[in-house]
Structure 1
Amino acid sequence: MVGASFLQLNKVRDACADFLKTRFHPQNVLGIRHFADTLGCTQLVTSADRYIHQYFSKVAFADEFLALNFDELVDIIHRDELNVPSEEYIFEACMKWVKSDQEKRAGYLPNILASIRLPLLSPQFLADNVATEELIRTSHKCRDLLDEARDFHLMPERRALVSASRTRPRCCDYVVGQIFAVGGLTKNGESVSTVEIYDPVTKEWKMGEAMSMLRSRVGVAVMDGKLYAFGGFNGTERLSTVEVYDPVQKKWKQGKTMRCKRSAVGVAALDELVYVCGGYDGVTSLSTVECYSPKTDSWTTVAPMMKYRSAGGVAALGGFVYALGGHDGLSIFDSVERYDVSTNTWTKVRSMLNRRCRLGVATLGGKLYACGGYDGSCFLRSVEVYIPEKDQWQLVAPMNVKRSRVALAANMGKLWAIGGYDGESNLSTVEVYDPKTDTWTFVSPMRHHGGGVGAGVIPNMVK
């Protein structure tokens, strides 16, 4: 690659870069990135950055990470795109970096802490892990940052005074994983337990392990590399049962049952918890919200939504849980509300441009997308995007096909609209939205589903 770069043999250089991409590993990716940067090979630098972002929690404990200089460390930990379950991983990685050469690096700690988003750490972690660090306790600047983070939790009314760079949740757009289409319907409208998996490498769907129960209108979330299927409808009754898929063991097991039966339910994973919002219990649309902790395997009830929402869309963005559209049995909504975890309250935000139930919702690039659905008279192919900084919705390119009951998933920097119902038949087709070109393109259809699936992306694991 050095020789090809020197001789300006760009095709040879690019072939070398493609080879190196296949050899990325948490132990070598920082070295490859540095090498690519010295040669000015931007495509390899970009690919290395994406790998670092997706697998930061493993990269951060490699020897190469400890060998970074101060400027390189801060450049990485500053990034919004780091994919971490919580800010704790970044704090612990930085403390390990400092302590690996404490005599030379302790003086950098105030500047490092300023790049860590301390207010996003839990009050318990701040008290038990941050405040007890001797290097932090003996530095005025470090203690000031710690006090700011504590005040963020103790005095919500002063949060606007804290720098946005320290309170903005991280958002990894470019996770590469396998898309799981879970449950749903046959062409004839019967509930199924079938699971199909889309592999971005082969660009084909393959069969996965089926769930133990039939589930259509099921809620799906992914957390810590496991996929959860919540509630749904088995063709006879609404379900409160939960199943969990472990991709390592390739097995489903029974999870802790919800307190309520729920089909047409919206779910979102945020900060090591899964929020299960609204739905239909067989009698009425629901406003109640349950919160599941995989760590403690327990359910708690949090504040109910402002509206009863069945067949709405739910997604996490910027540290909030958003609930969009849906219906209460009488009216279909364009309204949107969001849940603030720190205050346990729901607040109304800007309504969508269209009324939608049975819509697909996903987040990508720090924005919230609402896709397809049904407005009470028409099946929709329109798509709109919410920009939280502006509190504004705007239309983007419509899908090629009308889709209600559509599942929407973000993967590889794109949105995948999976299945649905066009007003006449259940759909097995899939199309992909590229935000860079504002276009939708068909990809391989599902083989064994007729729409109405739940969808989740399990990130590829480091080999």
Structure 2
Amino acid sequence: MVDELEELEDLVHVTVGDLPSRGYGVMEEIRRQGKLCDVTLKVGEHKFSAHRIVLAASIPYFHAMFTNDMMECKQDEIIMQGMDPSALEALINFAYNGHLAIDQQNVQSLLIGASFLQLQNIKDACCSFLKERLHPKNCLGVRQFAETMMCTVLYDAANRFIHEHFVEVSMSEEFLALTFDEVLELVSRDELNVKAEEQVFEAALAWVRFDREQREVFLPELLSKIRLPLCRPQFLTDRVQQDDLVRCCHKCRDLVDEAKDYHLMPERRPHLLAFKTRPRCCTSIAGLIYAVGGLNSAGDSLNVVEVFDPIANRWEKCQPMTTARSRVGVAVVNGLLYAIGGYDGQSRLSTVEVYNPDSDTWTKVGSMNSKRSAMGTVVLDGQIYVCGGYDGNCSLNSVETFSPETDKWTVVTPMSSNRSAAGVTVFEGRIYVSGGHDGLQIFNTVGF
């Protein structure tokens, strides 16, 4: 029998996979019974008994304390300064069973405790919990807390949320409670997601009026960071200039005059500080791409409209236009999409319709003075400009501008050349028209 055993493998491995977890469970039960505990953690009047070896094995802070001959390693009772008792108890229980319940009431105290005890996985879990529950009413407080706790990922997430939801955030109690320096820094940011600069003005004014007696003195500096030249002239005249806080402040009136001059005297625009005429752009929000009208494979004009969401990576159909349009001009003003002119398969069009993405509806607005397709379209100072195009007989040199406020098209100075299918862009307050053709020749020239 022995000889037969000797011929077999003389080494056998025995593994009990759940032994560590079962062992921790037994130690947790022993702790509940108050047995074999060799250390007590004290917070105020609260005391928690535990086993040094378990704390050292599960919590980096105690591992360093108990294995590096620190003074506390031989003490029977250790005072834990600045920790919430319920959070400490939960983290001690976590050391034994690996389970922790995070909720709205304990997340901050757990994050503070986890940071103190160097439990990075718990700290990360608390940050994720807060990140998923960001709201316009709490994001400023979460950002401040994240900065205090040096939670970079949570701080950045809160910042992005503030940028994306600035208008709603500006209506919160947290916003009204900000210090002047915090408000000034916020309204100076390029990344704010606003449909119009008017919304930033209203936010700043609401903050001042919340404690007018103490904050009125800060209004001139706040207005200097708001891009008043980007506000509509009507808003500057009827709202900003008429506000009693602005009217009684000489510096504020100067800033309003500067903004009005921007609209009245374009030649002075290069002298303005660059940031004042630079539209804000919330880079953390991906835009949507709209495909408007066009031609199908049979050459028929379409009224179909589709929108592409880069985040979802899919196209969806929108409400179709009321008129089929190819070679149509498109522009976006104040969050509304304009479809201008084009060709319906039989004739060139002067009609215009506007799409509201919130209601998924198209509405007809004022028609152009001329029928045109393949025109160049741009937006400048809240006005739509159409340049050239083709009216069915010849290329055009005429230029028209549309005011959404008055719903009227106005003919302005024509181009020096007749152009259709030209490229049109805006740069530093001027409209540049490049290339295109007049039906006989293709241009390589640029006009402005």
Structure 2-normalised TM-score? 0.64
Q: How big is the shift at 1:21?
A: 5.3
Equivalent residue number for residue 182 of structure 2:
72
Tell me if 1:180 matches 2:283: no
Matches within 5 A, 1:151-300: 152=262, 158-300=268-410
Equivalent residue number for residue 8 of structure 2:
none
Equivalent residue number for residue 89 of structure 1:
199
Distance 1:54 1:202 in 2: 18
Deviations 1:101-139 (A, max 9, x none): 112111212221221233444555444433444433444
Q: 1:145 to 1:254 in 2, by over 3 A?
A: closer
Return the match for 2:422 from 307, 312, 317: 312
- Give the SS at the match of 1:91: helix
Q: How big is the shift at 1:327?
A: 2.2
CA contact (8 A) 2:352 2:365 kept: yes
CA contact (8 A) 2:269 2:429 kept: no
- Give the SS at the match of 1:249: coil
- Give the SS at the match of 1:236: coil
Deviations 1:65-92 (A, max 9, x none): 2222111111121123334344332222
The structure where helix makes up a greater share of residues is: 2
Q: Supply the RMSD in Å over aligned alpha carbons.
A: 3.3
Matches within 5 A, 1:27-46: 27-46=137-156
CA contact (8 A) 1:181 1:197 kept: yes
Distance 1:157 1:221 in 2: 25
- 2:375 maps to a residue whose letter is V
Equivalent residue number for residue 211 of structure 2:
101
- Give the SS at the match of 2:288: strand
Structure having greater relative contact order (Cα 8 Å, sep ≥ 6): 1
Q: How big is the shift at 1:100?
A: 0.5
Deviates more, 1:55-64 or 1:19-28: 19-28
Distance 2:438 2:121 in 1: 59
Rg larger in 1 or in 2?
Answer: 2
Distance 2:129 2:288 in 1: 22
CA contact (8 A) 1:29 1:48 kept: yes
Distance 2:346 2:241 in 1: 54
Deviations 1:192-235 (A, max 9, x none): 22222223343122233222322211122223333221121222
Equivalent residue number for residue 325 of structure 1:
435
Q: 1:110 to 1:212 in 2, by over 3 A?
A: closer
- 1:229 maps to a residue whose letter is A
Distance 1:153 1:176 in 2: 30
CA contact (8 A) 1:219 1:266 kept: yes
Distance 1:220 1:155 in 2: 28
- Give the SS at the match of 2:167: helix
- Structure 1 unaligned blocks of 5 or more: 338-346, 348-463
- Give the SS at the match of 1:108: helix
Distance 2:191 2:202 in 1: 18
Q: How big is the shift at 1:155?
A: 5.6
CA contact (8 A) 1:33 1:45 kept: yes
Distance 1:319 1:64 in 2: 37
Count of residue pairs the alignment pairs up: 337
